[in-house]
Amino acid sequence: MVYFCYIDESGTPQIPGNTSHYVLCGLSIPVKYWKRCDKQINKIKAKYGLAGAEIHTGWIKRTYLEQSKIADFEKLSYTDRRSAVISARTAEVYRVKNQNNPKALKQLKKNFENTAPYIHLTYQERMDFLREVADAIGGWSYARIFAECIDKIFFDPTKAVHAPDEQAFEQIVTRFEYYMTHVGRNGEENYGLLIHDNNLTESVKLTSLMKTFHKRGTLWTKIRHIIETPLFVDSSLTGMIQLADLCALALRRYFENGETDLLDRIKPRFERRREKIVSVRHFSKDDCPCFLCE
């Protein structure tokens, strides 16, 4: 069997950066089920008027202020909601333009651009959409989620051998490798390929790191099942990377804000051995009370 492991991150690997956690998450899917998964996600997207749109969880989850100012917004058709939001946003762009604050204007335009595909959906509908996607992932018995969730407060750069992003990558590679060894016990040969969200600095770093792993193994295991260095793709074009992004964000929001809604839906895809979760780790203080550490 061949497995694709789609990898994306949530939060910033820099210390301190602007998030307390850095999460790197991989979603592994056996290639023979890829078509089935893709079809199911497209069906959910179509139901919410999102055919062809990217699933960018962070932007979908936001509150869109102008929606609350439109009278009976939820009673309007998708088309009418869209045009009402667009005209409110155009007015807002002109208002900010007059303030002579190029930085604020740039930020506003960026927000509007990134949320544009979802403005015809109320907050409730957008959350329902994400829940349905998370439920779909949770139901894929053949898929697995691998993740390293680093609490940067407890990451000591003076003692660590690797930076947070390198440590996280080594963990994902190790666990994906273990998984393929484990599921191969029935005599079937397994091979896996890593498909990573493209990012210029990361791609150079991780390619060289992966070459080292192929030569010498990770700290924990030799690499026998993963082939190649990661393939770097544009997440806006590759739908499965967007699902890895959803999983990464669900994990980070749990550690940072205690949110469990999306996390509980994807949890069934964590690999367990003797009841213990082995594919996802929280790198944190010794007495962390979270469900992964306890």
Given the rule CB under 5 A, which residues bind Zn ion? 282, 284, 288, 290, 293
* Structure letter (DSSP) for residue 291: T
**Residue 21 near residue 255, CB atoms below 8 Å:** yes
The least CB distance from residue 253 to Zn ion, in Å, is 14
Which of 129/283 has CB closer to Zn ion? Answer: 283
Least Å distance, CB 7 to Zn ion, is: 21
Residue 20 or 115: which CB sits closer to Zn ion? Answer: 20
Dist CA 7 CA 240 (whole Å): 9
Which residues on adjacent β-strands are paired with residue 280? 147
User: Toward Zn ion, which CB reaches closer, 209 or 262?
Assistant: 262
Angle between helices 102-115 and 78-97 (to 10 degrees): 170
Q: Which one, 174 or 284, has the nearer CB to Zn ion?
A: 284
Amino acid at 185: R
Shortest Cβ distance from residue 14 to Zn ion (Å)?
21
Tokens 């204007």, residue located:
105
In this complex, which beta carbon is closest to Zn ion, that of residue 15 or of residue 288? 288
Within 10 Å of residue 68's Cβ, how many Cβ atoms? 10
From the CB of 267, what's the least distance to Zn ion, in Å? 14
CB of 41 to Zn ion, least distance (A): 30
**DSSP secondary structure string for all residues of 28-89:** EEEGGGHHHHHHHHHHHHHHTT-TT----HHHHTS--HHHHHSTTGGGS-HHHHHHHHHHHH
User: What's the helix, strand, coil split of the chain in %, to 5?
Assistant: 50, 15, 30
Of the pair 151, 177, the CB lying nearest Zn ion is at 151
In whole angstroms, the minimum distance from the beta carbon of 276 to Zn ion comes to 14
CB 57 within 8 A of CB 246: yes
User: Residue 110 or 285: which CB sits closer to Zn ion?
Assistant: 285
In the bound complex, what is the minimum distance in angstroms from residue 181's beta carbon to Zn ion?
Answer: 26
Least distance in angstroms from the C-beta of 45 to Zn ion: 33
Rounded Cα distance between 106 and 111, Å, is 9
| Contacts of 74 by beta carbon, 8 Å cutoff, 6+ apart | 122
Q: Which is nearer to Zn ion, 156 or 234 (CB)?
A: 156
Tokens of 218: 């990770």
